[in-house]
Amino acid sequence: MQKAFHFDSPKESYHSTAAVVWCFDARFEAALGKLRKRMGLSNPDLVRIAGGAMSLASPERDSDREFVLDQLRKSVRLHSTDRVILMLHSDCGAYGGLAAFGGDPQAEKGHHAAELNRAAACVRAALPNIPVDCYFVDFEGVWRLEEAAAAQ
């Protein structure tokens, strides 16, 4: 193996303030960065998969849900993670994009709110002592789902 470049990285284990389940759509990278900054998240464990929290709410296969839950359990076990943050975004290809909702942003937002509630219930059943926050991201902002927060 040939060294590509050098960098220094801490060798100590770290504490994660959150495990974030998020899509890999690069259009919303700035939103994730701003959310991390506003929430003061340090060392977040990012679980980035197509559809983000969709894999918990309405996975294509049960093994998809189990994979994400296993990642969250490992985050808690290895990094004493404080909370889980679940995220979905507008025009997500895994859901068929905005077109799957007839181009109606409100219909899409309502659907994703229900999905986030299902995903949060799934995480709470698997990790009952870990708080769960849910967010929907569109092209104008980041929206916190109040229903999921009230269920804690």
Residue 85 belongs to a domain: yes
Residue 114 belongs to a domain: yes
Instruction: Report the relative pairing of strands 142-144 and 45-48 from DSSP bridges.
Output: unpaired
Alpha helices in 12-126 (DSSP H): 29-39, 54-57, 62-79, 105-126
Tens-level pLDDT at each residue, the chain (152 residues): 999 999 898 888 899 999 999 999 999 999 999 999 999 999 999 999 999 999 999 999 999 999 999 999 999 999 999 999 999 999 999 999 999 999 999 999 999 999 999 999 999 999 999 999 999 999 999 999 986 555 65
- The residue segments making up the domain with residue 62 are 19-150
CATH number of the domain to which 139 belongs: 3.40.1050.10
